[in-house]
């Protein structure tokens, strides 16, 4: 499943290839990826045809391509989605779902933007007036790499929450774009167990895990993103290879690089959490309960 660094790599690829290009035609080959456009695939194609892409933006794992009309093409890659930029004569991909034929620019010939998705949890939609920020994304928090992310506000919100810190990191209304892999990596770096409750962490703990998330995600960006799913490739069709640098994720039973203790795996929200039981001691199960004293008579 693509995480934020992969999506950012895709955004950069789109910014490099599709800006200032006119959408000459749109072919929806499977209705499911455009299911959120309620008027249907034909209306989706009609609204986009003739428009020009003016930018490539991202909030968390959502991407959008603003149009010269002030609207936007909004996309989410889901589990297995890809946005590929291809020469117009490249053979169609097996799981090609939506095909945009883009016109030439002053310097480059025509090309295709292709949405390819095997499992089709992702999708595309048309966002009216969504160029600046699609209204669909208003509830999604900024991500830690966003220059306008508010560290102090995040720390305050975490320390008011009784949820475990890993659950908080995965909550898109608190912070976006930190998926399961980067949450585990950041928690290991910060030496925090994912079940430690937000309201029992110190300010310095929260700041440390936020910095760790930034460091892990920045490193992943430098390497083109992590890929665990053979289905995932970036905008130019190359797989990420950051997985070589992971410390805990997918490393059950292998020694922690800090202390040598075998990495442990536990199930977590239908997925897995990986951690070092020594560097990241689990919280005590039972919260102290305030008990009123009862005076004997």
Distance, in Å, from the CA atom of 93 to the CA atom of 116, rounded to the nearest integer, reads 7
Closest CA to 208 of 293, 162, 168, 151: 151
Task: Give the residue with the Cβ less far from Zn ion, 155 or 256.
Answer: 256
SS3 state at 294:
coil
* Rounded least distance, CB 273 to Zn ion, Å: 15
What is the contact surface with Zn ion in residues (CB under 5 A)?
Answer: 256, 258-259, 261, 276, 278-279
Catalytic, 283? Answer no
Task: Give the residue with the Cβ less far from Zn ion, 158 or 187.
Answer: 187
* Rounded least distance, CB 282 to Zn ion, Å: 13
Catalytic, 57? Answer no
Distance, in Å, from the CA atom of 74 to the CA atom of 62, rounded to the nearest integer, reads 7
Distance, in Å, from the CA atom of 173 to the CA atom of 215, rounded to the nearest integer, reads 21
Residue tagged active-site, from 156, 200, 258, 271: 271
* Rounded least distance, CB 180 to Zn ion, Å: 20
Complete edge-to-edge strand list for the sheet that includes strand 62-66: 57-59, 62-66, 72-76, 123-127
Catalytic, 166? Answer no
* Rounded least distance, CB 181 to Zn ion, Å: 18
Catalytic, 271? Answer yes
Q: What is the DSSP letter of 197?
A: B
Residue tagged active-site, from 21, 58, 61, 114: 61
Task: Give the residue with the Cβ less far from Zn ion, 5 or 194.
Answer: 194
Distance, in Å, from the CA atom of 162 to the CA atom of 184, rounded to the nearest integer, reads 19
Q: Which helix (H) or strand (E) holds 62?
A: strand 62-66
Task: Give the residue with the Cβ less far from Zn ion, 237 or 277.
Answer: 277
Task: Give the residue with the Cβ less far from Zn ion, 56 or 276.
Answer: 276
* Rounded least distance, CB 280 to Zn ion, Å: 7
| Residues 40, 44, 45, 47, CA torsion sign | positive
Q: Any residues with CB less than 8 A from the CB of 268 and at least 6 apart, and which?
A: 166, 180, 194
Catalytic residues, by residue number, are 2-3, 61, 271
């Amino acid at each position: 499943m693509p995480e934020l660094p992969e999506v950012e790599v895709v955004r950069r690829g789109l910014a490099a290839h599709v800006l200032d290009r006119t959408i000459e035609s749109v072919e929806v080959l499977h209705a499911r990826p455009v299911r959120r456009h309620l008027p249907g695939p034909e209306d989706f194609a009609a609204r986009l045809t003739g428009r020009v892409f003016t930018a490539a933006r991202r909030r968390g794992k959502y991407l959008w391509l603003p149009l010269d009309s002030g609207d936007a093409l909004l996309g989410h890659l889901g589990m297995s989605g890809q946005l590929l930029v291809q020469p117009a004569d490249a053979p169609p991909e097996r799981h090609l779902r939506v095909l945009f034929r883009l016109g030439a620019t002053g310097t480059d010939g025509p090309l295709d933007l292709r949405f390819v998705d095997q499992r089709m949890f992702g999708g595309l939609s048309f966002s009216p007036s969504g160029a600046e920020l699609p209204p669909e994304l208003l509830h999604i928090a900024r991500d830690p790499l966003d220059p306008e992310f508010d560290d102090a506000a995040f720390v305050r919100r975490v320390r008011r929450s009784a949820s475990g810190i890993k659950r908080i990191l995965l909550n898109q209304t608190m912070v976006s774009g930190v998926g399961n892999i980067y949450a585990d990596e950041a928690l290991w770096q910060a030496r925090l167990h994912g079940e430690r409750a937000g309201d029992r962490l110190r300010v310095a703990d929260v700041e440390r895990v936020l910095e760790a998330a930034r460091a892990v995600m920045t490193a992943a960006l430098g390497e083109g993103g992590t890929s665990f799913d053979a289905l995932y490739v970036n905008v130019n069709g190359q797989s990420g290879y950051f997985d070589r640098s992971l410390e805990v994720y997918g490393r059950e039973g292998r020694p922690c690089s800090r202390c040598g203790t075998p990495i442990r795996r536990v199930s977590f929200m239908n997925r897995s959490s990986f951690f070092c039981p020594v560097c990241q001691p689990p919280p005590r199960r039972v919260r102290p309960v305030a008990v009123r004293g009862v005076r004997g008579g």
